[in-house]
Amino acid sequence: MKATPEFNSILKKRQASLLSTEPTVVAAFDTDFTRQRAAFAGFARENPGSVFLLQLGYEHETPGLAAELAGHVSSFYADAPGSRVIALGNSERECDSLRTAGVEARFIHQNCFLDERRYRPMGYRRPFDAAYIARLTPCKRHELIPPALAPRLLLLGCATKIYDSERDYAKMVYTRYAAARVVPVFSGAKVSEFLGMAKCGLVLSAREGASFCSSEYFLCGIPVVDTPALGGRSALYPDEYVQYVESTPDAVGAGVEHWVANRPNPWKVRAAWLAKARIHREAFAQLMRELTGRAPERPPHKLGIRTPHPAAAYSRAIQAYLWTKGLFMP
């Protein structure tokens, strides 16, 4: 395998992951692939027959977004003939949309690559009725949380980009939910600890990708309140541990109250999610056998993509915390 300097930089930044060298199989998020298409194409020309597996960070169920990705893939093939691009779709509908647009797709859900050994049910006393892991940005729709829930609400996340819309939105959230506990920055190692303090998790976006946090709730043993959305996040949901509600504060509040009154066994919640994820892990193993003749025993956490170097993650976390604290925190 020959790696160009440009592609080595991509690997170092964790914007791609090398899953196999003989033959070459690379995993990347679609946005990193499209934004740096020339670097990926240069690598593919140096390594004929390379296969690129694209995870989808945002929904491609709608025809326009599927066609947009198809255009990038077509241009890539023109620059790197003999290579192959396979999109890993998060729903059957997304895969159908991509195939119609001309992109090869397999239904292998992004969240199946969460390493369950990093998460576990914790805690017995749960002071918060609901937790929401979400950046403070309009698409996350925090306003669907009833304000009366604030004293029993755990908000995990902060605004990390200094856009007027995001800054103003964060101010609204901090004002509207002033009585909530806000944890603006936290490490992945703390997810289980924080979710162990809540009785359920919230997922409120109308359009996104697979939403890692939606599955982290289940791995930590808490059920979910979910609103309708494009993007396929519900494909791994164990339905018996989800309250599917309309996109209104009253409906979200009722969903939370359901789980407050009906707390399931956290280990059963976790096991039910793992049973759904196992199907997609087996599909990924089969795909790797097709491509390489072998399958990894356990793929890396999140396929090794966008799992930042610890120093970089720490630096970004400190910056985000100081920025948020300075502008919004008491």
In a domain, 323, yes or no: no
Question: What is the spatial distance between Cα 183 and Cα 173, in angstroms, rounded to a whole number?
Answer: 13
Phi then psi dihedrals of residue 290, to 5 deg: -65, -40
Residues 87 and 34 in one domain: yes
| Distances in whole angstroms, Cα of residue 159 to Cα of each of 94, 174, 179, 326, 329 | 29, 11, 18, 12, 12
Beta bridge mates, 18: 26
Residues 253 and 143 in one domain: yes
Q: What value does the mean pLDDT of the chain take?
A: 91
Residues 208 and 259 in one domain: yes
Mean pLDDT, residues 179-204? 92
E strand spans, 169-272:
181-183, 201-203, 224-226, 242-244
Q: How many domains does the chain have?
A: 2
Closest CA to 116 of 321, 272, 294: 272
Residues 9 and 85 in one domain: yes
pLDDT range class, residue 162, cuts 50, 70, 90: low
Q: Is the pLDDT score of 318 beyond 90?
A: no
Predicted confidence at residue 308, as pLDDT, reads 62
Highest mean pLDDT among 74-78, 122-126, 185-189: 74-78
Beta bridge mates, 203: 226
In a domain, 327, yes or no: no
Mean pLDDT, residues 103-121? 96
Residues 282 and 224 in one domain: no
Sorted by sequence, the CB contacts under 8 Å of residue 216 that are 6+ apart come out as 114, 119, 133, 191, 195, 201
Q: Is the pLDDT score of 309 beyond 80?
A: no
Predicted confidence at residue 311, as pLDDT, reads 46
Query: Are 83 and 23 in contact, with CB atoms under 8 Å apart?
Result: no
- For residue 281, the enclosing domain spans 5-113+277-318
In a domain, 324, yes or no: no
Residues 259 and 141 in one domain: yes
Sorted by sequence, the CB contacts under 8 Å of residue 84 that are 6+ apart come out as 49, 50, 51, 52, 104
Predicted confidence at residue 160, as pLDDT, reads 65
User: How many other CB atoms sit within 10 Å of the CB of residue 103?
Assistant: 24
Q: Is the pLDDT score of 150 beyond 50?
A: yes
In a domain, 326, yes or no: no
